[in-house]
A = this chain, B = another copy of it.
Amino acid sequence: MKRKIELVNNELTKIYPANTALNSILADSMNYSLSAGGKRLRPIMLMAAADAAGTNGEAFCRIACALEFVHTYSLIHDDLPAMDNDDYRRGKLTNHKVYGDATAILAGDALLTMAFDIITSVNTVKPDILLKVIKELAYAAGAEGMVGGQVIDLQSENKRINIDELRKLHSAKTGALFCAAIRIGAILAEASDEQLQALTRYAKEFGLAFQITDDILDVIGDNEKIGKPVGSDEKNHKSTYVSLLSLEKAQKLAKASVDNAVQALDIFGDTADFLQSLAKYLLTRQN
């Protein structure tokens, strides 16, 4: 895991400074959030899915980084005063607290746009495959995925939603991009339909377990380790798996999702070991 994070971080440094010569403040703002760390889960999952399907996933590290651009843009916009109004992220001030709202909005816009530029610049993958990759990403990040989920999230503040609505919200807001990461890895590996379906099942269960454990951490986590204040869901009157189900039931549901995720990859041999471990790690994550 540590080695994979370093691989992604190293690749990220190769991409972003070279592409931002026009305006140094915009470049600084983009780089500030891109280099803020994080687990690089989406790029790592993309590469691991390609590994599972029998190719060398690291060969797709550049495309994997495009997902981190999209993820980073979404965090910058989510943190804005007009949205969640968060001051801290990963232990650092949020982008708009440092660069102001306007530059933060534009840095997010530029990161999203550049993600597509990055993918089209890859010349080691066949054009028809790259187009499928772009389509997966654009769909997952758009109105039917991440952005749509964020709108539902904002609409759901200060009111009690039920567990089905919560699931729909997160399946769009965070699940869609995990799903795209895994599916893009499979597409790049030219996986069979059976493999693609199994990996998609894994991604959906992973996304669910990720969100439940995120909600749990917001209740019982450690400020220092998370890098932002715990209790923000309660403060923002957000429905969570914990508030709707109880802590104990949420923990059980997380465990069940992880089991399902692991099981979904049974058709693979040990090429899927890493993805299975990644799902299990969610149950012990501390940030």
Contacts and interface: CB of A to CB of B under 8 A. Distances in A.
Contacts of A30: 143
Contacts of A113: 112, 138, 141-143, 147
A149 to B, nearest CB: 8
Contacts of A114: 138, 142-143
Interface stretch (A41-49, A100-108, A230-238, A268-276): A100-108
A26 B127 contact: no
Contact of A27 (B25, B137, B143): B143
B127 A102 contact: no
A1 interface: no
Given A113-B142, A117-B138, A134-B134, A22 B150 contact: no
A131 B138 contact: no
Interface stretch (A3-11, A77-85, A243-251): A77-85
B106 A147 contact: yes
Interface stretch (A151-159, A209-217, A257-265): A151-159
- The oligomer's copy count stands at 2
A147 B110 CA distance: 6
A148 interface: yes
A120 interface: yes
A135 B142 CA distance: 19
A172 B106 CA distance: 14
Interface in A2-40: 19-23, 25-27, 30
Contacts of A135: 117, 120-121
A108 to B, nearest CB: 8
Contact of A26 (B19, B73, B151): B151
Contacts of A106: 77, 147, 150-151
Contacts of A141: 113
Contact of A154 (B102, B142, B148, B151): B102
B143 A120 contact: no
11 contacts: A19-B143, A21-B144, A22-B143, A25-B151, A80-B102, A110-B142, A110-B147, A113-B142, A113-B143, A114-B143, A127-B131
A-B complex: 7 closest residue pairs judged by Cβ atoms: A82-B101, A117-B138, A127-B127, A22-B148, A113-B142, A120-B135, A110-B143
Given A23-B148, A103-B151, A106-B150, 14 more contacts: A20-B144, A30-B143, A77-B106, A80-B105, A102-B151, A110-B142, A110-B143, A112-B112, A113-B142, A114-B142, A116-B134, A120-B134, A120-B138, A121-B135
